[in-house]
Amino acid sequence: MNLIASPFESIEHAVIWLLILFSVATWGLALLKGLQFTRLKAQDRKFHKQFWAASSLDSAAEFANNLPGAAARVALAGYAAIQVSDHQNTDLSHSINHQDRLERALRQQIVRERRSLETGLAVLASIGSTSPFIGLFGTVWGIMSALKGISAAGSASLETVAGPIGAALVATGVGIAVAVPAVLVYNYLLRRLKLSSADLDDFAHDFYSLAQKHSFRVQLHAVPAKSGATVGGQKVKEAS
């Protein structure tokens, strides 16, 4: 009978250790994503301050090249989409209307930034939704083990039942303790993601309005030299 009970105990303990691993992952992601959003907010604030202090759209191009941050990368993609040169390229990517190119470039860059910020959120959502059930599984397994032990002992007194059943319920408690922080952290980071995405959408709209005043054209020398942005799936050549 001990040979039968031993696997049940190992499964229950494995469930608890798995939940502890989930808890470590939750707090690790909370720290990393919190630092990511904080750093991004500071970078975008610095970029916006310098960008809007520029005298013109052309003169503001250097800030998109020299400053980090999501807003700077969105601006960089926008500049790459509306750049013109004396020797205009004749490939298909440059035959698209500059207005359409700009809309597509801004939209694609915002999607890329959002994907970067979403990294890890699916893990938190999975931990928050599955941890209670994993803990419940450990509890059920532990109760099965306890009942087998009680049956083997041939006694159903309160002292005999309470100890093993109470120990089995620990897995459910651990599962809930792991799930609650994961859900709270996920909701907080999701809120930060939505705010960051809204800020990028607002900036893209403002950049589009500025580009419209320039007839969706900027001179090649005003475009950052290391743009590397993509328009229509093609990497824009570096300005010389």
Single pTM value for the model: 0.76
Predicted confidence (pLDDT) per residue in 178-237, tens digit: 999 999 999 999 999 999 999 999 999 988 888 888 777 776 454 444 444 444 444 444
Ranges of residues in the chain whose predicted pLDDT is under 50? 1-8, 86, 90, 95, 220, 222-240
- Tell which residue, 54, 49, 47, 53, has the closest CA to residue 69: 47
Q: Please state the domain extents for the chain.
A: 21-137+168-224
**What is d(CA 223, CA 206) in angstroms, rounded to the nearest whole number?**
18
Residue-level pLDDT at 162: 64
**What is d(CA 16, CA 125) in angstroms, rounded to the nearest whole number?**
19
Residue-level pLDDT at 143: 81
**What is d(CA 214, CA 223) in angstroms, rounded to the nearest whole number?**
14
